[in-house]
Amino acid sequence: MTWDPGKLRVLLVDDSGERRRLVRELLATVGVRDVTIAGNAGEALSSLGRQRVDLMLIDQEAEKRSAIAFVRELRTGWDSPAPELPVILIASADRETILSARDAGVTEFLAKPTSAAALRSRLDEVVERPRPFVRGEKYVGPCRRRRKLEQWAGVERRGRGERKPKDDDAR
């Protein structure tokens, strides 16, 4: 069963009118109609305090400070209105940005330049395959593991720390 993008409520955070227009067109192309615009982090936080949204799209260049820093604040701030809100970051796909975004708690990464197909793929991930939320000493955000490795034979760091036996171990 596929989900209905027409029922998705999106908060788009970007200070550039031109970028907002392009992203709104991409959202409309994939069927998303309910889009709230915020020009900066303050407007985004205010909007999140007033209404329910299903996810936030934020452009890397949306903030004079870093959009990644804003996501970290959203995840860890004691007064955050939506710490577990799925966040898709739209940014250039260099390794440093991707790793920083992941470590800040960004849910999905949408590389520039982007397309409607790429956007739909990220929306599918958020809606159809949500990852559990993790609150650790050094990380707050969606679980960074995208799939469970059934054949993993190492130590389970999030489990009891016991090593799982491999099939070869039984011999």
For the segment 119-132, what is each residue's pLDDT rounded down to a tens digit?
Answer: 999 999 999 999 99
Bridge partners (DSSP) listed for residue 163: 155
Q: Which two tokens stand for residue 44?
A: 């985004």
Give the pLDDT confidence of 41-77 residue by residue, as tens digits.
899 999 999 999 999 999 987 665 689 999 999 999 9
Question: Is 43 within a domain?
Answer: yes
Provide the pLDDT for residue 114. Answer: 94
Nearest to 112 by CA among 60, 46, 71, 34: 60
Cis peptide before 113 (omega within 30 of 0): yes
71: domain CATH number is 3.40.50.2300
CA distance 80 to 24: 26
Q: What is the pTM of this model?
A: 0.83
Q: Is residue 152 part of a domain?
A: no
Expressed as residue numbers, the domain containing 102 is 5-142
- Mean residue pLDDT of the chain comes to 87
What does the block give as tokens for 128?
């159809």
The torsion angles phi and psi of 120, rounded to 5 degrees, stand at -60, -40
Residue 164 lies in a domain: no
Domain count, the chain: 1
Assess if residue 150 is contained within a domain.
Answer: no
User: What is the mean predicted confidence (pLDDT) over 123-152?
Assistant: 84
In a domain, 163, yes or no: no
